[in-house]
Structure 1
Amino acid sequence: MLKLFELLKSKGYLILFVLLEVVAIILLYRGSNYHSSIILSSTNFITGKITETATVANSYLGLKEANITLMSRNAQLEREVLRLRSTIERLTIDSLSYRKVMKDSIDQPFPYEYRIAKVVGNITYGNSSYLTIDLGSKDGVHQDMAVLGVSGVVGIIKAVGKRYAQVLPVTNKDFAISCKIKNGEYIGILKWDGETPQQSLLTNLPKHISYAPGDSVYTSNYSAIFPEGIFVGTILEEGSSIDDNFCALKVELSMKLENIKYVYVVTNYDREERENLDAILTHKR
């Protein structure tokens, strides 16, 4: 009760003013048809605007949910395409292994899992850029996990907190990934040269490599982080190589990171086994 009196004492003039305004509006409404119509018109306008805003907000939330649903379905389709592509490649190499391949496809589940994350930050420091996503260690995210978008490679997990993680994008000079040209046999390293945000360099290619502008570039099977066959971009022209013994090609990147909203964080359940084998071989050397 004491607090109520203190409130009335401190805000008394304001409360009195509001009450007088309400009384004045009621008197105007009852005493004049003209003023009544004005008040009703204003009320209807305000109500209409509130309803319109609520409708837009609900529509936006509905579109957001629909977008997440579409991304989930796209992730499922992407995994299925990669699995089928791997199966077809094995069959092409040895058509006599059909029965074994089909048995392996049933017995061995596809090792990649896609999880949707929202991009909550996009920061640039000089020539280096970073993305922040709303998944962290509590969600099973850890360093060096692949990050993809609906159009291709986005980057790799660089740092992880409990609820958030930082992504090193493909347009960062510290990012590198093993790639190859579609239908090609040579593996190169895709690395951003720091010049054009939407372009990168595919380096370490032999000088006699055959290519044409517009050829597609995909992730190779040499990576234990990225699935094989993920679209990276298209070849523009020959670029500048720091090593005269190799060729470098300019690549137009498929992902536009400026306004990216959602990404996929990819888990490779076979990665630990591959890296353990690599570590054993390295230790023996």
Structure 2
Amino acid sequence: MGDGDADSVTLSGDAAGWVRSRARERGVPPDEYAQRLVAAFRTVETAERVDLATTEDVADVERRLEALDRDLDEKIDDVRSRVVQVKREADGKADADHDHPELADDVEDALDAAREAERMAEDAAATAVDVEDRLDAGFENYEDILETLRDRTNGLSRKVGTLARVLVDVRDSLKPLVEAANRRNAVEKLKRSANREGIRSARCEECDATVDVALLTRPACPFCEATVTDVEPKSGFFGSPTLATGTRPALEAPQVIDDPAGELEDIADE
């Protein structure tokens, strides 16, 4: 395995067999592999300070990955329990004055959790890459450790995807609940306005039909389906109260947070 000059290494017996075996596994000539070992040994022996990953470094990375793993598990469990809680609250609260602003807050909090989980997974991947770069200088037993780190980083990425898919389900479940709550709120606002003016029934501005305001279940005329925006008192002695129709002002529309579908689905697909 070489002629013994300054650029070659000569080995025999078990040592030579071991080098040949390891070199074959890595697809390099035995001489080149032996020279790498010698170069690594010289670096460790002569350098005043060698920036190589130590056993403590690897243990620290493993501890950080374990912490990230636990944190992601907790986030996924928290989001799932939050979905169940929100659905129960929405089913149990029929008060029309309650427009469920906390539903939108829960979706936004859950989305923040997904962003944070993705960031944590990216940090873990960057840490693994950094450790790999530092280990390239020698110590072949670290290759097994790196494989473990890669596997665990991939596991974290899969959990981020799971969390994102849960959040997509949360969004799809909460959106109709928020819209229904806001429709009820709009009807109650019309009824309160009519009650303040002492109005029991009013003429629809769109179809001229007489509508009993107290019986409204949606902010729309039950005869022509025109959107009702306000209850206006009669004008003049012979006039009659009117249900104003048209497009509901932007501030009266169902209040739903910006649709996070694109961002969540991108995370879920990664």
Asked if Structure 1 and Structure 2 have the same fold, meaning a TM-score greater than 0.5 normalized by the shorter chain, the answer is: no
Could you say which structure has the higher helix fraction? 2
Could you say which structure has the higher strand fraction? 1
Q: What is the TM-score normalised by the length of structure 2?
A: 0.31
